[in-house]
Structures are given as C-alpha cells and as structure tokens.
Structure 1
Amino acid sequence: MLLTNLNKHRGYDQKTFKNDFGDLRWFATIGGGVQNIRRWDNEQKKYTDEVVAKALDLYVEGAGFQRVKFPTTFTISNITELSEIELVNPVACEVRGNVYVKADGLKEAN
C-alpha cells in the first residue's frame, strides 16, 4: 500500500504558515471585534462557558479573510481599523484542505 500525504496534518508549525501565506500583507479588520472561542465538551456535545482562545478575522492581501486564534489575554487596543499588521509568532496547520492560523499577538507593520 502506497501512503502519500501522510504529513498533511502534523499540527501547527511555522513552515506551513510560510508556505501558505509567504510574504502576503495582513490588514486589521476589527469592526467585528475579538470573538471568544469556547471549549467543546465531547461528552455533552456542546460548548462550555470556558473561553480557551480569542479569534479575529483579518484580511490577507491576495488571499481574502483568515480567522486567527490568539491567547485568551489578547486585546486589540493598540490596533486601528485597516492598518497593516504583522502576526507575532504565527503558525498554521492544514486539516482536510482548510488552513488554521494561530499567533501570540499582532502589531502594526513597520
């Protein structure tokens, strides 16, 4: 049996982020605000009230909108709408053709 694409899902890493987004420009779209990501309870088959991450939809030039997950302490108080931004320590993973991105934070681009 020939096995291919075994390494399609190996978790989040910098290489996947670089391969999928390279040197594309990111822009803040903070109008919708930061969203809470709640923990999923497999036994109850529903979300709990526990917030496990924050998320923000950002615009990636040439790629469209991308939801990015951040730590629960994340805030956007220092970012203005449509400013060019950089992700702090971005990583990504691919699962069934979908790309998921996480970062430690974001800052305005220089």
Structure 2
Amino acid sequence: MRLNSLNKQKGGYTPETFQKDFAGRRWFATVGGGLQDVRAWDNDKKRYTDQVVAKAVDLYVVGAGFQRVKFPTSFTLANINELSEVELINPVACEVRGNVYVKADGLREAN
C-alpha cells in the first residue's frame, strides 16, 4: 500500500504502525495463488539468494486494496478459504519511503 503520509517515523515493524494504517479495516483472503517464497537479499552481490526467509500472501484490504503480508516460513494456508474474511495474528507494520510493509505470525478466518 502506498501512503501519501508526511510521517517520517523510523524504528522498524511496530503494532502501532499497523493500527495507525489498518485499524478497523476488513481483510479478505485471496489465496488462489498460494504462498510465495520470500528470499534473502545479498547486499554484496546485489541479488536474492536461494535462502527462503519468509512466506507471503496477498490479501485484500477494504478501502486500501491489496496488501502483501509476510509470515514465518512454517506458515501454511490450511483452513483458509478463498475470499473468506480473515484476521491477522500479531500483525506489525512499518513504513519505508511511503510504502507500508506488513508481517504477522499467522492468519485465521474471522468470526
């Protein structure tokens, strides 16, 4: 998600940034494409390595569009149905040059 924010805060991923940008929004699973591997970046070689450091899935956020969310490498999409409303488990976010990045420990269908 691209923000037109003047907020220049630094400090990495925080629950407060997630709440500021996504509080009260509804999230929907778009899991048809499955999980995607997130690979490590090698600064010296300026390319991605073969090491998988996380899994990612694109979710639809009402009022904000699609948002890629990173999860631990052990995460699976078990019990998540396509287009079901979902909740992120322990979500955090950070802003870098107007872009918001989101991570979470897991995902479950909303009640």
**Please, what TM-score do these two structures have when normalized by structure 1?**
0.92
SS at match of 2:55: strand
Task: Report how far residue 9 of structure 1 moved.
Answer: 2.1
C-alpha displacement at 1:45, in angstroms? 1.4
Where does 1:27-106 land on structure 2 (aligned, <5 Å)? 27-106=28-107
Q: How far apart, CA to CA, are the structure 1 residues paired with 2:63 and 2:15?
A: 20
Structure 1 Cα separation of the partners of residues 7 and 58 of structure 2 = 29
Structure 1 unaligned runs (5+)?
Answer: none
CA-to-aligned-CA distance 1:54-79 (integer Å, 9 cap, x gap): 00000001110000000000100210
CA distance in 2 between counterparts of 1:66 and 1:52 reads 19
Closer/same/farther in 2, CA of residues 6 and 68 from structure 1, 3 Å limit: closer
Moved more, 6-15 or 48-57: 6-15
Higher helix share: 1
Name the count of aligned residue pairs: 106
Q: Percent identity?
A: 70
SS where residue 15 of structure 1 aligns?
helix
Distance in 1 separating the partners of 2:27 and 2:57 = 12
Moved over 2 A (4+): none
Secondary structure (helix, strand or coil) at the match of 2:32 reads: helix
User: 5+ unaligned residues in a row in structure 2: which ranges?
Assistant: 1-5
One-letter identity of the residue aligned with 1:96: R
> Which one-letter code corresponds to 1:49 in the other structure?
D
**Separation of aligned partners in 1, 2:56 and 2:10:** 21
| Equivalent-residue separation in structure 2 for 1:7 and 1:99 (angstroms) | 12
